[in-house]
Amino acid sequence: MKTSITQTKTGTIVWATIISGVLDALAAIVAYKLFYNYSPVQIYQFVASGVLGPDAYTDGLATALLGLAFHFLIAFFASYVFYLLFPKLPLLKHNKIITGLLYGFTIWAVMNLVIIPMSKIPAVHFDVLAIIAIIWHMLLVGLPISVIVSNYYKHSKDTENR
């Protein structure tokens, strides 16, 4: 019998990471191109600058790839945390759409109000792009994670986690 990637714990987390990470990356590329004319390399150098500071902008593609790796690491943690919380918080099971939208907002808030201020990235102002980023995190990050993880638990043979 063939097993779908989302029928295993690892597959579910990997799939949620890939889908949310790719959708978030594409949204950032489009939005930052339209608003600031940033290239994808500049966007992911910006992500890397959270750890490397201004030096992230001097090494070209290498630091952009490091920033992209950081981006997917964050997507992994967001997916994994939701996967761990889902069976423990009954509230998450009631409506995967609303749960996903709220989780996407939570991801945006934690990143922008906690993580980024603790990083080497200079203060970022709240503007129209921030509102757009909240919306894309709700629709393109939180929602896919919620749908993928809730579908896993709905069909999981691991009755202890349902």
- Per residue in 4-36, pLDDT tens? 666 899 999 999 999 999 999 999 999 999 999
Give the pLDDT score at 137. Answer: 99
Give the pLDDT score at 1. Answer: 45
Give the pLDDT score at 92. Answer: 85
Contact 65, 104 (CB under 8 A): no
For residue 3, pLDDT over 60 is answered with no
| Residues with Cβ within 8 Å of residue 134, at least 6 apart in sequence | 105, 108
Written as six digits, the tokens of 56 are: 């992230």
For residue 75, pLDDT over 60 is answered with yes
Nearest-angstrom CA–CA distance, 90 and 100: 14
Average pLDDT score over residue span 52-66: 95
All structural domains of the chain with their residue ranges: 5-154
Nearest-angstrom CA–CA distance, 52 and 71: 14
Q: How confident is the model at residue 159 (pLDDT cuts 50, 70, 90)?
A: very low
Measured in residues, the chain has a length of 162
Question: Against a cut of 0.75, is the pTM above it?
Answer: yes
Tell me the per-residue pLDDT of 121-141, one tens digit each, with 9 for 90 and over: 988 889 999 999 999 999 999
